[in-house]
A and B are shown apart, each in its own frame.
Chain A
Amino acid sequence: MSNLPIFDVAGSALRAQSVRLNTIASNLANADSVASTAEGAYKPLEPVFQARALNGDGSLTAVNVKEITQSGTPPIKRYEPGHPLADGEGYVYVPDVDPVAQMVNLISASRGYQAGVEMLNTAKELALATLTMGR
């Protein structure tokens, strides 16, 4: 923990939200990735956030990415016999990525990231003003 705890807290928010942005980017990028088996299909990722107390009295709580979970929803089985990756019965497997849900998540994550940057800026200005007090 540093002398400027707001930086730690806001920094943890930036880190967490950027992990979230990364997983959303992966999910959207792989929305059309096909596989020849149900197990081999891409599984959409989702981070799980967790509050992490930085001091004893609970007045300072950063945010942690506890884990990145893989969605358990089964992939969509699509009949494409001409596809080079099609299995013996002519099916390919595509991940069940909901682009609308991902975009909504994306907006929420980018708002969260922006809030973190604003927090950092405000805290930085105040710390600078305090450091130059009496000058």
Chain B
Amino acid sequence: MTNPISSYLGVHGAALPLREQRMQLLASNLSNADTPNYKAVDLEFQSVLEDAARNAASGAGRAERAPGSLDPAGRIFERPGVQPSLDGNTVDADTERAAYGRAALEYRASLSFLESKVRTMLTAITGQ
């Protein structure tokens, strides 16, 4: 069964939790910038989002999954380090900081798209 609200929100409803999950990955990387043998990870954002968009368009697969669990497992890959350090850690703190800032901005972008959708819907409901 298609949830009318989630199909109305379209890909943005799926993108927001995905962006949050990517931020969690980047936060893990930054937190472990000094942990020996930790490997930097990232999300194959494009392919996960394409799946989400396909699901949102067809309306399938949305009902049985809780929002935010678009199953990115298996799409998490180890990012090769630019300059791996001697202790086996591949996190480049500057790259991660830049990626985190960018991810935060992208999250805000998704949020404002979503917000305008919600506003439109609220206007339609209240008729004002």
Contact = CB atoms under 8 A, between A and B. Distances in A.
A51 B35 contact: yes
A61 B100 contact: no
B84 interface: no
Binding site of B, secondary structure by majority: helix, strand, loop or mixed? helix
A62 interface: yes
20 contacts: A5-B24, A9-B24, A9-B28, A13-B31, A16-B31, A51-B35, A58-B76, A59-B28, A59-B43, A59-B72, A62-B31, A63-B31, A63-B35, A112-B33, A112-B34, A112-B93, A116-B30, A126-B111, A133-B118, A134-B119
Nearest to A130: B111
A116 B108 contact: no
A30 to B, nearest CB: 23
B34 A115 contact: no
Interface residues of B, number: 35
B104 A122 contact: yes
Interface string A36-72: 0000000000001111000001111111000000000
A131 B100 CA distance: 20
Given A60-B25, A60-B28, A134-B119, 16 more contacts: A10-B31, A13-B30, A13-B32, A16-B31, A49-B35, A51-B38, A61-B28, A61-B38, A63-B34, A111-B93, A115-B33, A118-B97, A119-B30, A122-B104, A130-B16, A134-B118
A5 B27 CA distance: 9
A109 B31 CA distance: 11
Instruction: Choose among B28, B35, B97, B114 the residue with the greatest number of A CB atoms under 10 Å from its CB.
Output: B28
B38 A108 contact: no
A25 interface: no
A126 B108 contact: yes
A28 interface: no
A109 B93 CA distance: 12
Interface in A60-93: 60-63
Interface in B57-73: 72-73
Contacts of A122: 100-101, 104
Interface in B8-22: 16, 20-21
